[in-house]
Structures are given as C-alpha cells and as structure tokens.
Amino acid sequence: MKLTGAQILLEGLKREGVEVVFGYPGGAVLNVYDEIFKENFKHILVRHEQGAVHAADGYARSSGKVGVCLVTSGPGGTNTVTGIATAYMDSVPLVVFSGQVPTPLIGNDAFQEADIVGITRSCTKHNYLVKDVKELPRIIGEAFYIAKSGRPGPVLVDLPKDVMLDSGNVSFPENVSVRGYHPTYEGHSYQIERALQLIYKAKRPIIYAGGGVILSNASKELTDFTKILNFPITMTLMGLGAFPVTEPLALGMLGMHGTFSANMAISESDLVIAIGARFDDRVTGKIEEFAPHARIIHIDIDPTSISKNIKVDIPIVGDCKRVLTVLLKEMEGHEDETERVKGRVAPWLEQIEKWRNKHALAYELEDAIKPQYVVEKIGELTGGNAIIATEVGQNQMWAAQFYKFTKPRTFLTSGGLGTMGYGLPAAIGAQVAHPDATVIDIAGDGSIQMNIQEMATAVQYNLPVNIVILNNSYLGMVRQWQELFFDRRYAYTCMENIAPDFVKLAEAYGALGFRVEKMKEVVPTLKKAFKAKRPAIIDVVVEKFEGVYPMVPAGASLKQMLLV
C-alpha cells in the first residue's frame, strides 16, 4: 500500500487494536490529527500533555491494554516526561508518539525542537526516532511489542514532520521480533523445585506480593496458592487488589506506612516468598534489618530486579502467572506435605493474629472529620467496587490503608515516582476504559491543583469522575515530616486561605461542586455526588493535623514503627 506517514500511523494503531488516543495537537503533528479527524478515530483532548500520559496510564492500568498518547514537538514532548517516568517506575505499558521538527532541521535549534529521544532515554523501556517512512510500520509493531511484553513499560516514538508527510509503498510485518530482546516467561524447573522444598519446611512464612502479580493477571493463581498453603500474605502499595484484603490471611500493606502485623510478620519470618515485587526502599526500611531470619524466594520477570536491593536465596526469573501455575501443578498430589506445613504454620498465624489485634489500623472519631472515616465511607457506599485513583501524599496512604481492595486493577496510584497530580487524569483514563464504572480520585488540596485543568476534559466528554478532596489546608505528608523531624517548622506547607474555593472552581468548569464541613454531611453528600453521574468535586474539610500511622522513619527498620 502507498500511504503517507500519518496514514501509516493510523493504520498501525488499528492493527494493534488501539481504541482511543489521549493527546494534544500542535504544528508538528497537524497532518496526523487531520487523519484522526478524517478517520473519526476516538481521541480524548486533554488540557496538558502531562495529563495525556497520566490518562493513558490510568487507561492501561485499569484495562490491561497498552495506553497511547500523541503530542506535538518541543514543549509538547517535554511536558510528557513526568508522566513517562511515572509509568516507567510502575511498569505501565504505554506508547507515546511525539511530533518532531523535519529531519533536516534536527539539531539546528529549530522552533519547538527538543531532543525528546535523548531526554527520555533513562525513563523509557525503549525509544525511537523515525528517519524513514518505510521504517514506520516495523517501529510501530516493535513499540507495542516492547511496551507490553516482559516487564511492561513506556516506549516513545518520535515522528519528524517530513516523515509523516512522506509517502511510500509499505507493508506491515506479520510477526514482530527485536534482536537481543527475549523476555523469560517460564521459570526454571530446578529453581521451582528448590522453592517448593523451602516452602514445605517453613514454620513462619509470609507471601509478599507486588504489582507484577496484577500486571501478569495472576491474581487468581496467587489467591489459590495462598489459600492452599494457608500462608499469610502482605502486599505492596502497587500490589493492593492482587489478593482480597478482606480475607483472613491478608495483612494489608507493608512498609513505611504498612500495618503493624505485616511489618512484624516479615521481620520475624523464616521464609519470604516475593512475587512480582522489587524490594523498594519504602518496603524494606533499613536493608540490613529486613527479614533478618528469613530465606527469600523471589519470582520476577525482570532479572535485573532480582538481588538488586536485597540478596535472595532462590531467584526464579519468569512471568508470575506462569510460575505460580507451575507451582500449583507441582503441589498437586502432595496434599500430605501441604497439610503438614499447615500444621507447622498454625502457631505462626496465631502470633500474627495477636499482632493484628494489638495494633490494628484505627482512628478516633472527633468533632472534626477524620480523613480515614471519609475513605471508609467511600468504600461502604461503593461496596468496594469502585476504581480508586489517588494523588500522592497522605490522601494516597489513607486510601491504601482504609479502602478494602478486593480486585486487581481497581487501585491507580503513582508508587515509584510519587507524582502529585497523577490521580485526576488517571481517573479520566480509567473512566474512558470503563464507562459504567464508579471512578473516584481521592485527593489532597495541594496535589489536586497540579493537574486541575483536566476537569475540563472530564466535563467535555461527560466522564463522571468524582474527586474527593481530603482538605486539611496543608501539604499534609510534608507537614507530617516537618512535625516529626523538623520541630514543627512548617516551611511553606500551609495552604490555608490561599487555596481556591473548590466548589466555585468545579462550577466554573461546568462540574458539580460540594463542600462538607460536618461529620453528618459526609455520607449524604457522597451519595448525592455519586448518584449524579456527572464530574464532581467534593471538598471535605478534614482534621488539619491528622497523621498517617503506622510510620517507619527513613533509615529505620520495619520494627521501629511510630504508631501514633
């Protein structure tokens, strides 16, 4: 077929099964946008390129598909960098198409030129500069293959304007392969057998599940594995929803703001089975004192993540779903071994229950509205069936602690990079992917302002995203650190009297706006907002100095938790 570069791009997107593109037009990609218009291809116009990447990210996390966005050259590309880095840290499959100045002008400081390939090299799984229109079909196929295979991640494709205008006889490859790139999906049988031997000997085991379980769609296998062995399980921030937190074996989240029982259990365990997790510093605390008595099994598709932060005893490189499937199959016919290990583990479960009862997640109800109460009521009103996005900070941690996640792909949050402003555009992306779902962004009054312009996107496309602002008039998490470690010197964290009127702001965008100042107003207002099925901001004035606890101070071990 003889097609222009812009036509090839649209044809490539169709062949990859892309249903929607999030983007913002500009001079370098006008011919691409003209093809989108002529083809009536679904496109969501955001109000900032960072919002486009976060929206594509939320779409990808909630749907399991590759998220796609399209931006122009120069500042259009540079505005995507934070979103790309966010996706890279959390292993989210994205393909970002950026416009570029014509190839003869590259390197000449042309108008709206930026070396986006160089800029994003450290925060993409791979990136491309397309130099010939004949290369474009191959590059599109490779970009999607790389983004979604192995450990997923973002891929950037830079599109010079003249390449998009050029035309030629092109064909799309039937199969995609990339030289030197061959992810390992099947775990080594010898390592799996060694892991089973440790599992059957364990007395104080714990399963430590991360976001890789969700990315590989292995939640069912993880649940079966956990229940057959009757082992306690804890999850990372990114792993919440991989195993129902309502189950008795679930200890909730571990790490800096994890539960007392999870942190104590991993510290006193004799076997840690890490599945799809990367031993992030927010999980391990002081590395030298992380699980000091335990042998460690680590299952992960990324070989570079194994023994990078914590030395492990039995590495298993492979896809979580496939490795767990083999483990489950190997356990068949060994019911006697399974029953014996259950008997050995029974005293351990009793000890964990004592820890759970001693310091359960809790808060005291007072006249002021407690943010934890708001999160709990959101869970009750939605039956735990909503898709929850968050901003970053205290709002994020309260959501992780007090919302009962029971299903994968229902919690969207920036874990690795900690990007304020992530939640609203991510919620928009999730709402596009799931038009009939209840999608809620749990936000802070500081972080919501980072990308508040995307309210216009929600209103334009009638996406009924609800933003619940836990408004404490501070940059809350930073204020908490200042309170604990800087003698309450609240340097530039107080937002009181300088934040906007969020109700008026919502109305200015054409959305619904609500303010809640009394405890008795929380439930009726949330009900009203959720029932309206329109974009809405619910501004909840909460206790200013409420903290997120437990908390492990930086550099401390997981057992050195601040509990109040």
Active site residues: 49, 111-112, 161, 477
Cβ atoms within 10 Å, residue 284: 21
Let me know: does 176 contact 7? Beta carbons within 8 Å: no
Q: Can you tell me the distance from the alpha carbon of 438 to that of 428, in angstroms, rounded to the nearest whole number? A: 11
What does the block give as tokens for 476? 């809350």
368 vs 268, 379, 516, 517, CA distance in Å? 38, 20, 11, 8
Q: What is the largest CA-CA distance in the chain?
A: 72
| Torsion sign across C-alpha atoms 393, 397, 403, 404 | positive
Let me know: does 299 contact 275? Beta carbons within 8 Å: yes
What does the block give as tokens for 288? 């030298």
Secondary structure string (H, E, C) spanning 298-363: EEECCHHHCCCCCCCCEEEECCHHHHHHHHHHHHCCCHHHHHHHHHHHHHHHHHHHHHHHHCCCCC
What does the block give as tokens for 289? 């004192």
- Work out the end-to-end distance of the chain between its first and last CA atoms, rounded to an integer number of angstroms: 67
Helices 335-358, 219-229: inter-axial angle, 10-degree rounding: 90
Q: Can you tell me the distance from the alpha carbon of 56 to that of 348, in angstroms, rounded to the nearest whole number? A: 43
Let me know: does 61 contact 409? Beta carbons within 8 Å: yes
Helices 335-358, 260-268: inter-axial angle, 10-degree rounding: 130
Residues 6 or more apart whose CB falls under 8 angstroms from that of 513 comprise 502, 503, 504, 505, 506, 507, 536, 537, 539
Strand partners, 127: 156
Q: Can you tell me the distance from the alpha carbon of 387 to that of 377, in angstroms, rounded to the nearest whole number? A: 15
What does the block give as tokens for 96? 């970002």
Q: Write down the residue that tokens 């005291």 correspond to.
A: 364
- Beta-strand runs (E) in 194-279: 205-209, 233-235, 250-253, 271-275
Let me know: does 36 contact 13? Beta carbons within 8 Å: no
